[in-house]
Amino acid sequence: MKVNEVPQDEAFLKEGKIRDLCYVVDDKGHYTKVLSKGWAPKNDAIKLAWTVVYEHAEEIRKQILAGKLSPVAFYMELNVMDTGILANYMNLSRRRIKRHLKMKVFKKLKPELIARYAEVFGIDSQDLTDIERLGDFKPTDENRF
Which residue, 39 or 137, is less far from another protein as judged by CB?
Answer: 39
- Coil, strand, or helix at residue 142? coil
Q: Least distance (Å) from another protein to the CB of residue 76? A: 12
- Coil, strand, or helix at residue 10? coil
Which residue, 41 or 110, is less far from another protein as judged by CB?
Answer: 41
Backbone angles phi, psi at 144, to 5 degrees: -70, -45
* Total residue length of the chain: 145
Q: Least distance (Å) from another protein to the CB of residue 117? A: 14
Residues lying near another protein in the complex (CB under 8 A) = 1, 11-14, 16-25, 29-31, 33, 35, 39-42, 44-50, 52, 79-82, 84-85, 88-89, 141, 144
Contacts of 78 (CB under 8 A, 6+ apart): 53, 57, 121, 139, 144, 145
Beta strand residue intervals within 3-126, DSSP E: 20-25, 31-36
Q: Least distance (Å) from another protein to the CB of residue 45? A: 4
Q: Least distance (Å) from another protein to the CB of residue 104? A: 26
Which residue, 113 or 131, is less far from another protein as judged by CB?
Answer: 113
